């Protein structure tokens, strides 16, 4: 009988995640029946949203992975085939690919042939974060050539892609990131203005880089950054609310200056989204992103850390900004 | 030489408006040249937005009025003709109707023939507040039959119209107002659920009236009401930010629980607006509202107070909720 390891939520997150929030457990995998297969994690994704979602104690931590089929009773998923799916923080997954319900729940896909590129891209620029940037920016912000776009978390998997998509669309792009190394990279991939929010005043920076104001604001950070950014929006500005990494760890509700009068007087359009609303359009988004990568118009980076056993530690470092580009765990 | 009286902003508003913020001044009106006319205020509008806008000390308080032409050198606006325009808190206005710029700035219109109805309706249900309800609700909330709509300030000029439009569109409508008399009237014009926010708990009321949540939220109030209302929104809910009468008087920035994580996780769409963005479509909106009034589908009320000299007092009473329906000053 094959066994798997999984990381479960031992206790609910409160404030910053701690080692005591996580517990490693072993589970037995059943013998395979028709339509089923078992696969080994190759790359696992860690993403900020894992902190923000509320799910029950004792459940496996959520997340997507790329895995290689180890045993199979499903001819569509032969041994050796690479798949991607939301099976959680598991070293080995049992999949009933004959069950439509299960495949929809875990969003099972075959990893497309990426040629010389690593299949981990299916978790990053050609996966959920890439689609988050593509649809979350284009659909909600509706950027027009010549407009000014503001992105924070600009060195992250999503932010770095948003800024480059905005450049492709003819916009002026302002990014904020949290270290010199990050800012240097963000600048190197074509952002027009890049600021280190830990060292530079947000208001002053925005006044300098966007004296006429910001048309589109793609927010990964929330909190204080957003309160300031709103003051720099133009009339009819659009804000895409993608994340709030600065407030995910708050154990108390965060108090913030009331934004609604600014939304009113500037006639802003603000929308939050979960990228899965566009899931049926992912093939279109992935094809476009792949084309831009092949043309050299979109660059990406990954921060790859090793060891399934280190997942909590790697995840905690992600929340502290240890990544440049997509953070990946190599199992 | 004809003279006029005007109310000017003597000192900037700080907190609740006080008598000392206002000063009555006399002004001389010039002799008429070709294309010009002078008219006497008949009805003046007082609206909450007058508190919210920031304009220079010594300028005439902004606002729309219905006026009757007294002297004219413009054959399109003969003596006796009724016009409406944003000429401010003036007892008598000088209009250069030959100047395209001025007519656009004051949004000069002839008051349409309303038959037996008072021309004050051009300042209310068939004017700016009616258009605010019509476009601000329909365009931003995009309500669908069967959805649940929440409106506060429900006994006001705008809120009472929003709720009735929502009923026409087949929605369930929940209103909040601030007195028994107001709630009784709101109930009588067809709202499904009406609560007195001064006596009833907002959370409990919403849980009871919208156990499955709110699809569309039309906000005239802001502040604490909005913080609570957001917690009752459904996934993909829409919020039209029309006003914030509960926070207009704040002299310090109001701190509020950060709404952006709610906007994110519920995938809400939030938009602020100034109704003038739809000005070119007002004829369509007015025709539709007129039809609904004639069909008995939309009811309205006015609170008419007398005396140009009482405008500050009447305006201050409006901000304290003294009106049911549109507050009008009869000159």
Q: Which of B229, B248, B261 is the best substitution to test chain A (most A C-beta atoms within 10 A)?
A: B261
Least CB-CB distance to A263: which of B223, B261, B270? Answer: B270
Tell me which chain A residues have a C-beta less than 8 angstroms from the C-beta of B223.
Answer: 258
Sequence-distant (6+) residues with CB within 8 A of A283 are none
Q: Write down the pLDDT at residue B86.
A: 97
Q: Tell me the Ramachandran region of residue B260: left when phi exceeds 0, alpha when psi lies from -120 to 50, beta otherwise.
A: alpha
pTM (2 d.p.): 0.96
Buried b (16+ CB within 10 A) or exposed e, B209-245: bbeebbbbbbbbbbbbbbbbbbbbbbeebbbbbbbbb
A253–B255 C-beta distance less than 8 A: no
Q: Which helix (H) or strand (E) is A240 found in, with range?
A: strand A233-241
Given a contact cutoff of 8 angstroms between Cβ atoms, the answer to whether A240 and A218 are in contact is: yes
Helices B180-188 & B157-168, crossing angle to 10 degrees? Answer: 30
The answer to whether residues A280 and A107 touch, using CB atoms and an 8 Å cutoff, is no
Calculate the CA A121 to chain-centre distance: 12
Give residue A149's pLDDT. Answer: 98
Kindly state the helix (H) or strand (E) to which residue A170 belongs, with its residue range.
Answer: none
CA nearest neighbour of B243 among B218, B268, B276:
B218
Q: What residue ranges of chain B have pLDDT lower than 50?
A: none
The chain A residues in contact with chain B (CB within 8 A) are 52, 219, 222-223, 226, 241-244, 247, 253-274, 277
Residue A70 neighbours by CB distance under 10 Å? 15
Residue A253 is predicted with a pLDDT of 80
Nearest CA-CA distance, residue B94 and chain A, Å: 30
Q: In A, which residues are within 8 Å of B271 by CB distance?
A: 263, 267-270
DSSP-assigned letter for residue A8: E
From A278's Cα to the closest Cα of chain B, the distance in A is: 13
Distance from CA of B243 to the nearest CA of A (A): 7
Residue B16 and residue A329: Cα distance in Å, rounded? 57
Rg (CA), chain B: 20
Q: Judge: A264–B270 Cβ closer than 8 Å, yes or no.
A: no
Q: What is the pLDDT of residues B158-217, one digit of tens each?
A: 999 999 999 999 999 999 999 999 999 999 999 999 999 999 999 999 999 999 999 999
First to last CA, chain A: 21
Are A37 and A72 in contact, with CB atoms under 8 Å apart? yes
H or E stretch including A49?
helix A49-52
Pairing of strands B255-257, B148-152: unpaired
Q: 3-state SS string over chain B?
A: CCEEEEEEECCCCCCCCCHHHEEEEEEECCCCCCCEEEEEEEEEECCCHHHHCCCCCCCECCCCEEEEEEEECCCCCCCCCEEEECCCCECEEEEECCCHHHHHHHCCEECCCCCCCCHHHHHCCCCHHHHHHHHHHHHHHCCCCCCEEEEECCCEHHHHHHHHHHHHCCCEEEEEECCHHHHHHHHHCCCCEEEECCCCCHHHHHHHHCCCCEEEEEECCCHHHHHHHHCCEEEEEEEEECCCCCCCCCCCCCEEECCHHHHHHCCCEEEECCHHHHHHHHHHHHHHHHHHHHCCCCCCCEEEEECHHHHHHHHHHHHCCCCCEEEEEEC
Report the C-alpha gap between A133 and B36 in whole angstroms. 56
CA distances from A330 to A43, A92, A122, B93 (A): 5, 13, 13, 76
Query: CA A294 → CA A84, A98, A165, distances in Å?
Result: 22, 35, 14
- Enumerate the domain spans of chain A: 3-124+301-330, 128-276
CA proximity to A253, closest of B105, B259, B257: B257
Q: How far is A130 from A127, CA to CA, in rounded Å? A: 5
CATH of B3-123+301-330, one of 3.30.70.1560, 3.90.180.10, 3.40.710.10, 1.20.140.10: 3.90.180.10
Other CB atoms within a 10 A radius of the CB of residue A211 amount to: 9
Give every residue of chain A whose pLDDT is below 50, as ranges: none
Interface contact B272-A267, CB threshold 8 A: yes
pLDDT tens digits, A47-106: 999 998 888 999 999 999 999 999 999 999 999 999 999 999 999 999 999 999 999 999
d(CA A90, CA B6): 75
Chain B residue with Cα closest to A271: B269
**Interchain contact, A52 vs B272, CB within 8 Å:** no
SS3 A96: strand
Of how many residues is chain B composed? 331
Strand partners, A158: none
Find, among A270, A143, A139, A233, the residue nearest to B239 by Cα: A270
Beta bridge partners of A193: A174
Give the domain A3-124+301-330 fold.
Answer: Quinone Oxidoreductase; Chain A, domain 1 (3.90.180)
Instruction: Output the pLDDT for position B55.
Output: 86
Structure tokens at B17: 């408006």
Say whether domain B128-276 belongs to CATH 3.40.50.2020: no
């Amino acid at each position: 009988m094959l066994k798997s390891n999984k990381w479960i939520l031992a206790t609910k997150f409160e404030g910053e995640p701690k080692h005591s929030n996580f517990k490693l457990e072993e589970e037995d995998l059943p013998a395979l029946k028709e339509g089923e297969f078992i696969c080994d994690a190759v790359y696992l994704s860690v993403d900020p949203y894992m902190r923000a979602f509320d799910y029950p104690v004792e459940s496996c931590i959520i997340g997507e992975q790329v895995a290689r089929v180890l045993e199979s009773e499903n001819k569509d998923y032969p041994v050796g085939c690479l798949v991607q799916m939301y099976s959680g923080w598991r070293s080995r997954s049992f999949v009933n690919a004959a069950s439509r319900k299960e495949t929809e729940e875990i969003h099972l896909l075959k990893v497309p042939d990426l040629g010389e590129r690593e299949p981990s891209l299916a978790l990053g620029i050609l996966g959920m974060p890439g689609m988050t940037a593509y649809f979350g920016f284009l659909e909600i912000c509706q950027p027009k050539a010549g407009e000014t776009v503001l992105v924070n978390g600009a060195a992250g998997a999503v932010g770095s892609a948003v800024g480059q998509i905005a450049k492709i669309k003819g916009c002026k792009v302002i990014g904020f990131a949290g270290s010199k190394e990050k800012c240097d990279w963000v600048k190197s991939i074509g952002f027009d203005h890049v600021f280190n929010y830990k060292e530079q005043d947000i208001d002053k920076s925005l006044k300098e880089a966007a004296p006429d104001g910001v048309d589109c604001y793609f927010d990964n950070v929330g909190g204080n950054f957003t309160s300031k950014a709103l003051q720099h929006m133009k009339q009819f500005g659009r804000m895409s609310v993608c994340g709030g990494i600065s407030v995910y760890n708050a154990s108390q509700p965060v108090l913030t200056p009331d934004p609604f009068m600014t939304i009113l007087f500037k006639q802003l359009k603000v929308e939050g989204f979960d990228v899965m609303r566009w899931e049926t359009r992912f093939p279109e988004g992935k094809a476009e992103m792949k084309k831009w990568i092949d043309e050299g118009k979109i660059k990406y980076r990954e921060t790859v850390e090793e060891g399934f056993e280190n997942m909590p530690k790697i995840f905690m470092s992600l929340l502290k900004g240890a990544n440049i580009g997509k953070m990946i765990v190599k199992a």
